[in-house]
Amino acid sequence: MTCHIHPSILSADFSRLGEELKAISSADAAHIDVMDGHFVPNLTWGLPVVKRLKEVSPVPFDVHLMIEEADRWAPAYAQVGCESVTFHAEAATAPIKLARTLRESGAQAGMALRPATGVEPYLDMLTELDMLLIMTVEPGFGGQPFLDLTLPKIRRAAAAIEGSGADLVLQVDGGITTETILRAAEAGATCFVAGSSVYGADDIPAAIAGLRRAASLSPQA
């Protein structure tokens, strides 16, 4: 299994985001949480800030849109060069059309599911996606504990991806530490978003390396 580590800048120092992006240059991508204060009860940044940060980032951007009207706003993030754009299934009116639009715009298409949203209604569209994100906390705020009740859903999603033959990344986001990453990896996740466990560490590159080692201990690796 190839393990991808995507530190979330939601846990970074907002006053020095350019430097905070450079600090995670050993990661596979930066996870960029865009929140509108409506889909989730928090507000972060929008397209102009993401576009400028993208221009100075040493790593690709994995944009996670926690916003309403995803069909309307998501394509713009692909158009400014973000390598991966993930929308929430709960916020998309036409998820297949949106995924195709993102791909046509040059980005990988991802779809996210809240902890209580079942994966089964979306299994037929796996081939339309490059990534499926299973939220392992309620979206909106960093620093929350990992919800073990999501592990069965991760297992079902991993089995469905394998059965579909789709070349699909299975990402998890929320409460990822060197302990919980192993449980998520054993369930079949291949990409891990980590916020406070990376940016809260004294040695950020060592924290990223530690997460990689922990995930590699899974029999799935």
Known catalytic residues?
33, 173
Q: What is the CB-side half-sphere exposure of residue 168 using CA atoms within 13 A?
A: 27
CA distance 170 to 29: 15
Run of H or E including 132: strand 131-135
| Number of neighbouring beta carbons within 10 Å of residue 72 | 11
Residue 144 is classified by DSSP as: P
Tokens of 147: 């919800």
For residue 33, list its beta bridge partners. Answer: 64
